[in-house]
């Protein structure tokens, strides 16, 4: 096995944190709107069975950020990944442009997955800046969108802005449990070990972030829950830590998953990290990595094992896809 040079530990990580972290109150809508210029801005919500929350989010964005004199957002897109409830209808009634994955790039068979929906959402818009918002947020505040846009509109060097926040437990009166269980037990240790430049990113798995469309169209998208980490690591690889910023949104709420579901999410996050280590040449490309997760399940009497496939599928960069479509045939 060939030896791989370990990544250099940044000399002073707090310097990045201090210069690349801002607060939601630092970005009043008037100043962000004044900096918009000719940029077209789209908000994309990947959604699956979110009828209880998606309407409130779309309504808030349209009421606060799309009206004359306050038109910060040009379009709100909900990508419905085959919901079995009324997600699509609620989103449309609230004023969103609702698309189904199969209607975008129809020559590529669609599938479920958060990253798949995000990839199709980017493909469906020509916006200069895209803001992603999870569709299951509760007590949504449209200032989240404003604040995430602030660093991008005020600094041309910034390419990618992550949300930071406290994620309360199920009972919002209890103290925060940090970034959530998958973040604290999986993502943060991996990032600290292998991508220490990104260690000060408070919420590497946050579903709320904004990026320049030109960047997003150059990045591959993991189809499943590895998408958030994948985009962060690929942005770092392509543009460096100085192109990344974060904004503290204070607190945000969404539904909590059970431990077994979180285990499956964690497996996808780990698989993404392993694939990026291979791409960086820090893990041999021929190292076999299982794409299955075994989880015990307690029965009324005894225990059984459930085997789950780990979603490692990935969509190519849209820029590469468009280039291939337009290549002359020989």
pLDDT in tens, 9-54: 444 678 899 999 999 999 999 999 999 999 999 999 999 999 999 9
Does 220 fall in a domain? yes
Tokens of 56: 């409130």
Does 3 fall in a domain? no
Does 265 fall in a domain? yes
Q: Which residue has the tokens 């959604």?
A: 47
Exposure string (b/e) for 217-232, b if CB count within 10 Å is 16 or more? Answer: bbbbbbbbbbbbbbbb
Does 8 fall in a domain? no
Confidence of residue 2 (pLDDT cuts 50, 70, 90): very low
Q: Provide the pairing of β-strand 75-80 with 209-212.
A: unpaired
Does 1 fall in a domain? no
pLDDT above 70 for 94:
yes
Residue 171 makes CB contacts below 8 A (sequence gap 6+) with none
pLDDT above 70 for 263:
yes
For residues 10 and 70, which has the higher predicted lDDT (pLDDT)? Answer: 70
Domain count, the chain: 1
pTM: 0.91
Question: Domain range spanning residue 138?
Answer: 13-326
pLDDT above 90 for 170:
no
Task: Quote the pLDDT of residue 179.
Answer: 64
Distances (CA, A) of 127 to 10, 38, 101, 230, 286: 34, 11, 18, 21, 39
pLDDT above 50 for 325:
no
Compute the distance between CA of residue 120 and CA of residue 104 in angstroms, rounded to an integer.
Answer: 6
Does 318 fall in a domain? yes
Task: Quote the pLDDT of residue 11.
Answer: 45
CATH number at residue 249: 3.90.550.10
pLDDT in tens, 206-228: 999 999 999 999 999 999 999 99
């Amino acid at each position: 096995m060939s030896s791989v040079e370990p990544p250099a530990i940044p000399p002073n990580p707090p310097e990045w944190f201090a210069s690349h972290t801002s607060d939601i109150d630092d970005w009043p809508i008037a100043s962000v709107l004044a900096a918009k210029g000719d940029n077209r801005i789209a908000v994309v919500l990947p959604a699956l069975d979110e009828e209880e929350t998606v309407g409130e989010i779309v309504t808030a964005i349209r009421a606060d950020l799309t009206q004359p004199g306050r038109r910060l957002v040009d379009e709100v897109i909900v990508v419905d990944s085959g919901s079995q409830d009324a997600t699509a209808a609620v989103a449309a009634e609230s004023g969103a442009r609702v698309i189904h994955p199969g209607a975008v790039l129809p020559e590529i068979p669609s599938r479920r997955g958060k990253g798949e929906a995000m990839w199709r959402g980017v493909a469906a818009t020509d916006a200069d800046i895209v803001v992603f918002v999870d569709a299951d947020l509760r007590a949504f505040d449209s200032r989240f969108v404003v604040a995430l846009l602030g660093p991008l509109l005020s600094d041309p060097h910034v390419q990618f802005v992550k949300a930071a926040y406290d994620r309360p437990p199920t009972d919002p009166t209890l103290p925060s449990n940090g970034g959530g269980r998958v973040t604290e037990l999986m993502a943060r240790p991996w990032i600290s070990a292998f991508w220490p430049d990104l260690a000060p990113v408070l919420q590497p798995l946050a579903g709320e972030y904004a990026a320049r469309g030109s960047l997003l169209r150059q990045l591959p998208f993991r189809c499943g829950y590895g998408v958030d980490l994948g985009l962060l690591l690929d942005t770092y690889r392509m543009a460096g830590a100085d192109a990344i910023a974060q904004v503290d949104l204070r607190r945000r709420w969404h539904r909590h998953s059970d431990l077994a579901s979180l285990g499956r999410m964690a497996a996808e996050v780990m698989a993404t990290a392993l694939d990026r280590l291979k791409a960086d040449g820090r893990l041999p490309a021929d190292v076999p990595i299982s794409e299955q997760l075994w989880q015990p399940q307690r029965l009324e009497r005894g225990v059984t094992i459930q085997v789950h496939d780990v979603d490692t599928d990935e969509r190519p960069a849209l820029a590469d896809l468009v280039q291939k479509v337009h290549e002359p045939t020989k």
